[in-house]
Amino acid sequence: MRPQSLLLVALGASSLHIPIQDLESHLLPKHSSNLHLSPLPDRNLRPRQSCENTPTSRNCWGDFSIDTNYYDVTPNTGRTVEYWLSVQQGPCAPDGVQRTCMTFNGTIPGPTLFADWGDTIVIHVTNNMETNGTAIHWHGLRQSSSVLYDGVPGVTQCPIAPGTSLTYRFRVTQYGSTWYHSHFSLQYSEGLFGGMIFNGPATADYDEDLGVLFLQDWSHTESFTLWNTAKLGAPPSLETGLVNGTNTWDCTTQDPGNPSCTSGGSKKEIIFTPGTKYRVRLVNVAIDGKFQFSIDGHSLTVIANDLVPIVPFTTDSLEITIGQRYDVIVEANATPGDYWLRAGWIQTCSMNNNPANMTAIIRYDASSTSNPTSTSTVTPSTNCLDEPAANLVPHLSLDVTNPTSNITREDLSFVFDSYFKWTINTSSLLLDWAHPTLENILDGTSIFPTEYNVVQVQPTTGTSNGSIPEWAVLVIQDVSNIGLAHPIHLHGHDFWILSQTPAAQFDPATSPGSFDLTNPPRRDVATLPGNGYLAIAFLLDNPGAWLTHCHIAWHASQGLSLEFVESQEDIVVSAGDEAVFRSTCDAWRSWELSNPFEQDDSGI
């Protein structure tokens, strides 16, 4: 079922409040080449819902609710939602400084994709760039029975060649907030990302949904140029940042004499109506950095991390690292006026040249044009780890049982040969885009190239469909002695965070005794503490090839990644999906023959 409340429809940098029943008629006349929704059935012909999702009953979702175990149960909506995305490259000036960007449909961020919990979503991606392949990852989605559409070049697909298209198709088995982005080298840092909103129940009530709000660092130099510096080891400090793809830059004082600087940028503005409760979906899409988000004069009620509903907690600021998402509710209960929304860049985690300028504006009067004079009461953080685990209590309580029977320990270090590379057990990830891991699997190969960093995991029952759930535990131990924190993202699964221990060595004999096994925080991105270890558990219930990597873009390019090949004998794809997979690889290999593409990073 679909809630009757208003949804925010975000297309690139613009947003509109539109009743869900009017969504198709509103969008298609203007965006028919970009979006199509299947016809919406007449509400009057529907059976009476047992519990309607409204501003005062957000926990409801028809015959389901916030208490439904979404790992086992998915509504059958019978609906397919279809989108078209064009990957393109061209001039942009998100803060008033001209440069070249990569975008979906010409905007940063790209269009927000909406679906209901239980829908099937079909996304047609056309690569309209001339000299780059691409592949699109749907961040945080488990992709059960659709591993071919996880969107990782060299793992689950070959890149989409210039001038060709690939249709991604999968079931929406989760609900909440996430994002999609290119997983081809550094492309997402050039603007190739957008939001995804999967409608479902929530753990607290709110009136209006303001959609996805992206926080990012930004440079006036393309990332592929900065890579020449980053690959030497020390990451470059970027000039500034953006809030939902926009900001300002003072050409007179910050960039005098630069002909590319037009001072044509603008601050993101959000209009509040007194007494209204707003849902905001925060996403950190930085290249390298952590934010401490806040709004002057307002508190935040946090209701979800990543795609996991949590027991609500209230705070004046929220720390969010790369790839993580938090859903927050903000009540417009301050004295009417203008207030700064602060992204809150944390300089101790990564340097930026203008962190204080990463702001947007909350207005109670839409006609106001004044800059806010509000001040922050938030104590700036110097912490590079995640929000305290005590705050991140999943609403759906699920414990970890018998996690010590299948522990994989991987040591993180580095090597410097042709450039600085991170290593997992002495091996730095290096993928061959033309021969992805799944091609080896479909061809019946059980031996993988060493530099693919494949870890094979299998339930002891021999099948992923055993009656008793089995767990895999990954322990990443930082032995680099560099002391950096690394946001680790696992594809294909939510994971349970058993331990995040700074400056400590994992002891297989004693450390598991301190694992948090009782409804620990659950998500898909968690921070590995510098010189310490991260221990995560996930259920062996989703056969596939699943990338696990640091989400700092420089580090991913420097090979900080491994792959889980899970239950290889149980990986099944349809004949039609396999034909699409092989056709995509044929097209890439054909294009590459006449357009040699120099790969100078890990490939992800």
pLDDT digits (tens, 9 = 90+) for 531-555: 999 999 999 999 999 999 999 999 9
Q: Give whichever of 29-38, 346-355, 595-604 has the largest mean pLDDT.
A: 346-355
Q: What is the mean pLDDT of residues 176-203?
A: 98
In single-letter form, the type of residue at position 484 comes to L
Task: Quote the pLDDT of residue 462.
Answer: 63
Q: Is the confidence at residue 25, as pLDDT, over 80? A: no
- Please state the rounded mean pLDDT for residues 309-316: 98
How many whole angstroms separate alpha carbon 180 and alpha carbon 358?
22
Whether residue 39 is predicted with pLDDT greater than 70 in this model: the reply is no
pLDDT of residue 364: 98
Distance from C-alpha of 149 to C-alpha of 138, rounded to nearest angstrom: 8
Cβ pair 494, 538 in contact under 8 A: yes
What integer pLDDT is reported at residue 467 of this predicted model? 65
Helix (H), strand (E) at residue 563 = strand 561-566
What length does the chain have?
A: 604
DSSP for 196-247 reads EEEE---SS--SEEEEEEEEEEE-SS-HHHHHHHHTTSSPPPBSEEEETTB-
**DSSP code of 175?**
-
Joined tokens for residue 604: 């992800």
Are 156 and 142 contacting, i.e. CB atoms less than 8 angstroms apart? Answer: no
The region, left, alpha or beta by phi > 0 then psi within -120 to 50, assigned to residue 391 is alpha
**Is residue 147 scored above 90 in pLDDT?**
yes
- List the Cα angle 552/553/559 in 5-degree steps: 90
The pLDDT, as a whole number, for residue 1 is: 39
**How confident is the model at residue 540, as a pLDDT?**
96
User: Could you tell me the pLDDT band of residue 304, with boundaries at 50, 70 and 90?
Assistant: very high
131-140 pLDDT, tens digit per residue, is 999 999 999 9
Q: Provide mean pLDDT across the span 564-589.
A: 96
Least-confidence region, from 47-61, 124-138, 155-169: 47-61
Q: Distance from first CA to last CA of the chain, Å, rounded?
A: 37
> What pLDDT does 597 receive?
78
Q: How many helices (H) and strands (E) does the chain have?
A: 6, 35
Confidence of residue 50 (pLDDT cuts 50, 70, 90): confident
Note the Cα 557 to chain centre separation in Å. Answer: 17
Strand partners, 293: 318
pLDDT (tens digit per residue) in 397-449: 999 998 877 899 999 999 999 999 999 999 999 999 999 999 999 999 889 99
Work out the pLDDT band at 19, boundaries 50, 70, 90: very low
Query: Which has more pLDDT, 23 or 333?
Result: 333
The answer to whether the CB of 319 falls within 8 A of the CB of 392 is no
Q: What is the pLDDT of residues 209-261, one digit of tens each?
A: 999 999 999 999 999 999 999 999 989 999 999 999 999 999 888 888 889 99
Q: Above 70 in pLDDT, residue 42?
A: no
Task: Give the number of other Cβ atoms within 10 Å of residue 313's Cβ.
Answer: 16
Q: Which pLDDT band, with edges at 50, 70 and 90, does 464 fall under?
A: low
Q: Which residue has the higher pLDDT, 561 or 259?
A: 561
Which pLDDT score is estimated for 537? 98
Mean pLDDT (the chain, rounded) = 91
Q: What confidence category does residue 465 fall into, taking pLDDT thresholds of 50, 70 and 90? A: low
How much is the pLDDT for 264?
Answer: 83
Rounded CA-CA distance 37/25 in Å is 10
Is residue 560 within 8 Å of 480, Cβ to Cβ? no
> What's the rounded mean pLDDT across residues 154-173?
98
Taking only the tens place, the pLDDT of each residue in 284-300 is 999 999 999 999 999 99
Burial of 406 from C-beta contacts in 10 A (0-12 / 13-18 / 19+): middle
pLDDT tier for residue 23 given thresholds of 50, 70 and 90: very low
Structure confidence at residue 114 as a pLDDT band (50, 70, 90): very high
Q: Express each pLDDT in 375-397 by its tens digit.
A: 999 999 999 999 999 999 999 99
In this prediction, residue 3 carries a pLDDT of: 39
Virtual CA dihedral for 432, 435, 441, 446, nearest 10 degrees? -60
Which residue has 């592929």 as its token pair? 224
What is the rounded CA–CA span in Å between residue 497 and residue 510? 17
CB 119 within 8 A of CB 172: yes
528 pLDDT higher than 60:
yes
- In this predicted structure, what is the pLDDT of residue 358? 98
Supply 10's token pair. 């975000």
Q: How far apart are CA 600 and CA 597, in angstroms?
A: 9
What is the longest distance spanned by two Cα atoms in the chain? 69
State how far the alpha carbon of 378 is from the alpha carbons of 312, 330, 347, in Å.
20, 16, 15
Between 45 and 365, the more confident residue is 365
Quick one: pLDDT band at residue 524, thresholds 50, 70, 90? very high
Q: Tell whether the torsion through CA atoms of 166, 288, 179 and 15 is positive or negative.
A: negative
Confidence class of residue 49 from pLDDT cuts 50, 70 and 90?
Answer: low
